[in-house]
Amino acid sequence: MTTQKVLFKNIDTFKGVTPCSYEQYVKGGGYEGAKAAFKKTPHEVQQVIKDSNLRGRGGAGFPTGLKWSFVPMDNFKGQKYLICNCDEMEPGTFKDRALVYGDPHQLIEGMLIAAYALQMTKGFIFIRYEYKKGARILEEACAEAKKHGFLGKKLLGTDFEFELDVHLSAGRYICGEETALINSLEGKRANPRSKPPFPQIKGFLGQPTIVNNVETFCNMPHILAHGADWFKGLGLNGNAGTKIMGASGRVKNPGLWELPLGVPMRDILEKHAQGPSRGKAFKAVIPGGLSTPMMTPEQFDTPMDFDSIAKAGSRLGTAGLIVFDEGDCMVDSTANIMKFYARESCGFCTPCREGIPWILDIVRAIGAGNGEKDDMSILDDMSKHIMHTFCAFAPGAQGPFLSAITTFRSEFEAFIKSREAAAAGVN
């Protein structure tokens, strides 16, 4: 399978990558998408994005053009805001880092196109606290873009203006949720907001706001330069575009690859990640970053696209595979997962704040040989109760947890039975 490099065409390697300069970017066709966009009306640009079938690359996979359609346009006279979500704190996910560190002008051009389409004159790149180098790269690229007339006032021979600021996050996993991100950007505690109203109507500072992911924006220059039909032709089985997919954990060659949306999971694991790293068979994969349910080897032929992975009982998410082999204890692995969620809960909702640490304590006790006979029924109940929360954080924690105690239940029960057997021997 030959894959056309689109998002990664200016990025040769993730490790030690040198950012693509403005001159290199323009030489390779950079900012041609923005020039094509500015020859159209804002509504026409919106229609191109809608026709392309671009779906959000941040995890949910919501159609980008449809999301944009809720923003007030012709009769709206106030300020509107555009925000890039680069708060990449999902474990197992590092694709946006590669895009920012390797090709920052691609992101800036994508945001310029979106800003023009939605008539938003102010934008922010909300970047993860640990990506300080990425923030510096983006600030330098923004200065270059402004110097050459792609940020600022009277852009590309029009009266349109767009100012773009880089905002370094204070650092919390919940900031990846768009309304928590907006609260954080406003200087408030990063708690999610009630929806409706949705950010498209009432977002940053109470004004219409669009939040899209780094990878989503990076697709836009190519769609405007080459057309919606071209973009749709890049994917497999009716899917549109390429997708940056990654693998980490028990594989020989962890990394990132730009592949057609819809490529079988097995291709990633065996061809690109080059198989198991320890000579042991694969046991399970979390397919889309930590917040997605586990999948097992009999499901590895599932196409990596939003709908196929959903039908298989999980979610594509960020397409960052976390791989386990037969040498991994799934009790210990589950404890490690729940440790992350217990630490990162914002504490707003009782089922999440109290329930996830409770789950962690029980799973740890089971793994330490101190499990009780009723522990599994308690965990079953808790997997349901933690779902009743204000935002999607606890359901995200429930995904890998519930799949672990369901698929690998025998491992949990074996720990409990070994403790019971030991106790019976003492008596």
Q: Domain 330-426 adopts which CATH fold?
A: de novo design (two linked rop proteins) (1.20.1440)
Tell me the domain boundaries of the chain: 22-232, 245-323, 330-426
**Weakest-pLDDT range from 115-119, 131-135, 422-426:** 422-426
| Mean pLDDT computed over 313-342 | 96
- What's 278's DSSP letter? S
| Residue 287 and residue 247 in contact, taking contact as beta carbons nearer than 8 Å | no
Instruction: Indicate the length of the chain as a whole number.
Output: 427
pLDDT for 336-394, tens place per residue?
999 999 999 888 889 899 999 999 999 999 999 999 999 999 999 999 888 888 888 89
What band does 20 get if pLDDT is binned at 50, 70 and 90?
very high
Q: Which option is the CATH number for 22-232: 3.40.50.720, 3.40.50.11540, 3.30.530.20, 3.30.830.10?
A: 3.40.50.11540
Task: Count Cβ atoms within 10 A of the Cβ of residue 28 and give its class: 0-12 exposed, 13-18 middle, 19 or more buried.
Answer: middle
d(C-alpha 112, C-alpha 92), whole Å = 29
CA 383 – CA 398 distance, rounded (Å): 6
pLDDT digits (tens, 9 = 90+) for 144-194: 999 999 999 999 999 999 999 999 998 889 888 999 999 999 999 988 998
Alpha-carbon gap, residue 263 to 272, rounded angstroms: 12
Q: Are 117 and 33 in contact (CB under 8 A)?
A: no
pLDDT of res. 387:
84
Average pLDDT over residues 203-229: 97
Give me the sheet containing 282-286, strands edge to edge: 255-260, 242-249, 320-325, 282-286
Domain 245-323 has CATH 3.40.50.150: no
Q: Tell me the pLDDT band of 239, cut-offs 50, 70 and 90.
A: very high
The pLDDT value given to residue 1 = 46
Q: What mean pLDDT comes out for the span 261-280?
A: 96
Which string of DSSP letters, residue by residue, matches 285-303?
A: EEBTBTTS--B-GGGTTSB
